[in-house]
A and B are shown apart, each in its own frame.
Chain A
Amino acid sequence: QSALTQPASVSGSPGQSITISCTGTSSDVGGYDYVSWYQQYPGKAPKLMIYEVSNRPSGVSNRFSGSKSGNTASLTISGLQAEDEADYYCSSIRSTNTDVFGGGTKLTVL
């Protein structure tokens, strides 16, 4: 039961756009439109940023967007801001009726 694959780190300058990928298999990311993305600051609980591939919960900035192609989901943050510096995790349900998270990506705003 390996985790979904995310890059360990990404970085970008203020105002730029960055994309974080999340690669799974046809048994999870590719098989269901139940991919979510979470933002987490050190010592804090995670916060849902995107659900069901591309939907934003109320209150989440429209600078955050999600998409999926085949077995890979993506989180894009446009107009990067200093406050976006955090860890980001993807998750998906699996055909085994379980959930799985990605290993996490540390976003650095230069």
Chain B
Amino acid sequence: EVHLVESGGGLVKPGGSLRLSCAASGFSFSNVWMSWVRQAPGKGLEWVGHIKSKTDSGATDYAAPVKGRFTISRDDSKNTLFLQMSSLKTEDTAVYYCTPNRGPNDDYGFFHWGQGTLVTVSS
């Protein structure tokens, strides 16, 4: 069974930094692209970015609002995904979810989700 557990959220001041983690199990983590998706309070889902598998270069892509401020990385030896957030703004306040880009048969879609971790940016 796929299990995703996000952690590291909390309260941070504008301009500050925070690092989120996502512990994954139940699938071949190293072989899949992983994404972060966020949801501001009362708002819709927003794709944040993804990291490709190392066999696909391990490159990252980001949504425009976070590009240059957020960095996604992965530790395949620990089946863990990271989101390093810096220069945080109040509009980054959201629940952050990690999710693999593909399902069990390599089908494209966000099949599995964790419970999310809340990041609050406020002075």
Binding site for B on A (CB under 8 A): 1, 3, 34, 36, 38, 40, 45-48, 51-52, 55, 57, 87, 89, 91, 93, 96-104
Binding site for A on B (CB under 8 A): 35, 37, 44-47, 49-50, 61-64, 97, 101, 103, 107-111, 113-116
User: A40, A51, A87 — which one has the most chain B CB atoms within 10 A of its CB?
Assistant: A51
Secondary structure of the A contact surface, majority rule: strand
Q: List 14 A-B contacts (CB under 8 A).
A: A36-B110, A40-B45, A46-B97, A48-B103, A48-B110, A52-B109, A89-B45, A91-B109, A97-B61, A98-B47, A98-B62, A101-B44, A101-B45, A102-B44
Which residues of chain B are near A97, meaning CB under 8 Å?
61
Tell which of A34, A47, A57, A104 touches B44, judged by Cβ atoms closer than 8 Å: A104
Interface contact tally, CB-CB below 8 A: 69
B115 touches A45 (CB 8 A): yes
Asked whether A38 and B110 contact (CB < 8 A) given A45-B97, A57-B103, A98-B61, the answer is yes
Tell which of B44, B108, B116 touches A51, judged by Cβ atoms closer than 8 Å: B108
Which residues of chain A are near B108, meaning CB under 8 Å?
34, 36, 51-52, 93
